[in-house]
Amino acid sequence: MGKSGYRPDIDGLRALAVLPVIFGHAGLPGFSGGFIGVDIFFVISGFLITSILVREIASGDFSVARFYERRARRILPALFAMILACLIGGWFLMPPEAFGALGRSVIAAILFLSNVWFARSTEDYFGTAAEWEPLLHTWSLSVEEQFYLGFPLLLCLLARGPRALMVVGVGLLTAASFAFSIWQTRTEPTAAYFLTPARVWELSAGALLAMGVLPNLRRRVLAELIGLAGVLMIIASITFYGPQTAFPGSAAMLPVAGAIALIWAGSIQENRVSQLMGSPMLVAIGLISYSLYLWHWPVLVGLRLLQGSTHLSTGLALFAVALSVVLAWGSWKFIEQPFRAGRKPRITRPVITRLSAVSAMLFLGTGFAIKAYDGFPSRLPEPQLATYQQAFSGIDRQERCMKKTPATGLCTIGSAPKESQGNVALFLWGDSHAAAWLPGFDHLLEKQKFTGMAALKSGCPPLMGLRRLDKSASHRCDLFNKQVLELLASREDMPVVVLAARWALAAEENRPEGGKGMQFASAESYTTAVPDWAVQATQSSRGALVAHRLDQTVAAIRATGRKVILMKGVPEIGHSVPAALAKTAFTNTAFPEGPAASYVEARQEQSDNIIDIVAERHGAYTVNPRELLCEDNCRIAQGRELLYRDDDHLTAFAARRLLPQLIEKTPPIKALTNRLAYSELNEQSVSHPRG
């Protein structure tokens, strides 16, 4: 379309794409929607590469080998340098678990399957777990490379017919992907964000522009208006979008349309908007934008590892941005340019092929070795190694239990059924925080030779009638919790039900470190209005909804005659405790204190209030772990034992040590120590409505 040749305004558009990404990732205010820069990159890539492909196919000069050689020269040298730096830095900074995850992500990055790997291994692009992944940002490279595996061949096939066939074919691909993106963003938001099918339309939209679906602009004023509209659309996306935005879906249309408008307006280079986009400063940033994108995220992760927290101060965030720019310039000058510069690059095709193949094999081997040796825990000296490894004991069992459902059979806890004296005595119901208490309940019940049962599902607090909008459609918290209630209604044992969860995250709009919390919606059969008492007793509409659903859940359990114990939330630490231990070993620094009790209590205030009110309404019992964990500060270790295996889940040691002190004095649990009292509790108090 329009002029051919170099377009400085497109380099300026690259700057407009990469800067918001970096500022947003660094946590600088005003850039909550900075992630839309990736969508702009997709449009630019689709436009530029399709422009070349269409021209070469039309002239009969297209070569698959030459196409992928260009991609290799463009992508691989800087990517390999960045991965090497991550491996070196990870060896000296990362605890074994995180370094093992880095090894797996290296394998995925080299195979251009990062988007698939991170869609499976991280719950959320904006979640805490993602903040520690140095190669998280390579997901977008994988999307592009997966797209370009087939797109050039599709164009060659369509080019055999009339030109209109090519436009119609790519247009249908764009429409289908856009429709799929809208649907998948609603049903499986994490998959929609990372995986290629929901992103194809952004690349192919740029391709359609390159194929001339929009008419050539002839009037400068019209081009300026279109360009200005494009700038405003991108700025609006950066400013008003955030982690709470359902993305990509229809929301991605705004930045994509903005990028298309700016590229289209640039067909008349004399217009003032395009001249501004082509200004020397923006062009300079645009030229290093690929390296800048590659290096900024590992720099941020490295600083988080050094300080032991995902939150960077404004000063440290600005330092990270400046350091990223310096590294990006060096990468562009000394790594990108030698492989790309000139019509006859110094490094020939056979050399780039051999270098790429050998480097890829070395990185794959390294990644597999790190994975096989579990992140090389021997890097930690004793006794830190033993302490670190102890923190993760029992996790496998917890994860197995969280995969079980009432339909497939739940986990038993405590004594084996044949060793217990009576029926199942206790029922534990909740999310991964409830699962973290399993070792404590095992210890408690084994001591009295009782059997318990646990209904556990990650990310699903025991709140009937709520489904997670930020999880895939198959996650179905509402269905799981419904099945749990049906199981309780079908049995006459289990006189004591314990509910535990990460209540603060459920009740609050945001995570303690920033970013969105759980996103809830009522299931169709639970659409009753939130009562006035819940609205008046809480601080937000989210809190009122959680209070209402917890009230309904406890009421349903109490209607069967069972006793209910509500376990309040444990402190959220704000950083990985095992990672902090590893940092003390690697950097010879002091082990940090836990968070201030006042901060923790402020975070838990609304959820505590909800639990207290619901307990009073239904005669339930409450226990508060923070009474044992917090004084002026909340403890994160006891002697040489860690109390947390990450930033908010207790270790098995903590669960076994704390639970007996916490719960044994409650009347329902005290009854378990008295066989006669337990017999009466089990046989007389559990009743089931009939009909």
- Best CA proximity match to 214, nearest among 232, 226, 199: 226
Give the tens place of pLDDT for each residue, 213-251: 999 998 999 999 999 999 999 999 999 998 878 899 999
Distance (Å, whole) CA 607 – CA 568: 8
Distance (Å, whole) CA 584 – CA 306: 10
- Best CA proximity match to 75, nearest among 293, 286, 260, 284: 293
Question: What per-residue confidence (pLDDT) applies to 287?
Answer: 97
- 321 and 199 together in one domain: yes
- Complete DSSP assignment for 264-307: HHTTSTTSHHHHHHT-HHHHHHHHTHHHHHHHHHHHHHHHHHHH
> CA gyration radius for the chain?
28
Cα dihedral 660, 665, 669, 672 sign: positive
Yes or no: say if 438 and 397 are a contact pair by the CB < 8 Å rule: yes
Tell me whether residue 608 is in a domain.
yes
Which one of 355, 379, 403 terminates a domain?
Answer: 379
Question: What per-residue confidence (pLDDT) applies to 515?
Answer: 61
Phi, psi (degrees; rounded to nearest 5) at 566: -105, 120
Question: What per-residue confidence (pLDDT) applies to 689?
Answer: 36
Question: Which domain does 497 fall in, by range?
Answer: 395-572+594-636+663-684
- 217 and 345 together in one domain: yes
pLDDT at 422 over 60: no
Q: What percent of the chain has pLDDT over 70?
A: 93
pLDDT at 639 over 70: yes
Q: How far is CA 528 from CA 196, 460, 468, 514, 523, in A?
A: 38, 20, 18, 31, 10
Q: At 665, is the pLDDT very low, low, confident or very high (cuts 50, 70, 90)?
A: confident
Tell me whether residue 656 is in a domain.
no
Whole-model pTM: value is 0.84
Query: What is the domain count for the chain?
Result: 2
For residue 662, give both structure tokens. Answer: 């916490």
- 422 and 375 together in one domain: no
Alpha helices in 454-531 (DSSP H): 477-490, 503-507
Q: Which residue has the higher pLDDT, 290 or 576?
A: 290
HSE value, Cβ hemisphere, 13 Å, CA-based, for 343? 0
Question: What per-residue confidence (pLDDT) applies to 691?
Answer: 26
Tell me whether residue 88 is in a domain.
yes
- 143 and 60 together in one domain: yes
Which one of 345, 379, 413 terminates a domain?
Answer: 379
Q: Which residue has the higher pLDDT, 469 or 153?
A: 153
In the block, residue with structure tokens 């400085």: 8
Distance (Å, whole) CA 563 – CA 321: 55
Average pLDDT over residues 670-679: 62
- 273 and 359 together in one domain: yes
Question: What per-residue confidence (pLDDT) applies to 681?
Answer: 55
Tell me whether residue 120 is in a domain.
yes
Tell me whether residue 567 is in a domain.
yes
Q: At 467, is the pLDDT very low, low, confident or very high (cuts 50, 70, 90)?
A: confident
- 519 and 435 together in one domain: yes
Average pLDDT over residues 173-195: 94
- 307 and 409 together in one domain: no
pLDDT at 679 over 70: no
- Complete DSSP assignment for 44-106: HHHHHHHHHHHHHHHHT---HHHHHHHHHHHHHHHHHHHHHHHHHHHHHH--HHHHHHHHHHH
Question: What per-residue confidence (pLDDT) applies to 513?
Answer: 67
Distance (Å, whole) CA 226 – CA 220: 10
Q: Which amino acid is at 404?
A: K
- 118 and 264 together in one domain: yes
- 89 and 126 together in one domain: yes
Yes or no: say if 100 and 366 are a contact pair by the CB < 8 Å rule: no
The CATH number covering residue 561 comes to 3.40.50.1110
Which one of 379, 408, 428 terminates a domain?
Answer: 379
HSE value, Cβ hemisphere, 13 Å, CA-based, for 244? 10
Tell me whether residue 191 is in a domain.
yes
Which residues lie closer than 8 Å to 277 by C-beta, 6 or more apart? 8, 9, 12, 13, 16, 227, 262, 266
Question: What per-residue confidence (pLDDT) applies to 306?
Answer: 85
Distance (Å, whole) CA 514 – CA 508: 11
Give the tens place of pLDDT for each residue, 312-355: 889 999 999 999 999 999 999 999 998 876 566 677 888 888 99
Q: What is the per-residue burial (b if ≥16 Cβ within 10 Å, else e) of 138-171?
A: bbbbbbbbbbbeebbebbeebbeeeeeebbebbb
- 374 and 466 together in one domain: no
Alpha helices in 509-648 (DSSP H): 532-537, 541-558, 577-587, 597-618, 626-629
Tell me whether residue 626 is in a domain.
yes
Yes or no: say if 599 and 541 are a contact pair by the CB < 8 Å rule: no
- Best CA proximity match to 498, nearest among 646, 684, 666, 645: 666
Distance (Å, whole) CA 327 – CA 81: 11
- 415 and 358 together in one domain: no
Give the tens place of pLDDT for each residue, 242-259: 887 889 999 999 999 999
Q: Which residue has the higher pLDDT, 681 or 562?
A: 562
Kindly state the helix (H) or strand (E) to which residue 497 belongs, with its residue range: strand 496-500
Q: How far is CA 445 from CA 253, 311, 450, in A?
A: 56, 40, 5
Give the tens place of pLDDT for each residue, 590-638: 888 999 999 999 999 999 999 999 999 999 999 999 999 999 999 999 9
Give the tens place of pLDDT for each residue, 83-101: 999 999 999 999 998 999 9
Tell me whether residue 362 is in a domain.
yes
- 423 and 332 together in one domain: no
Q: At 678, is the pLDDT very low, low, confident or very high (cuts 50, 70, 90)?
A: low
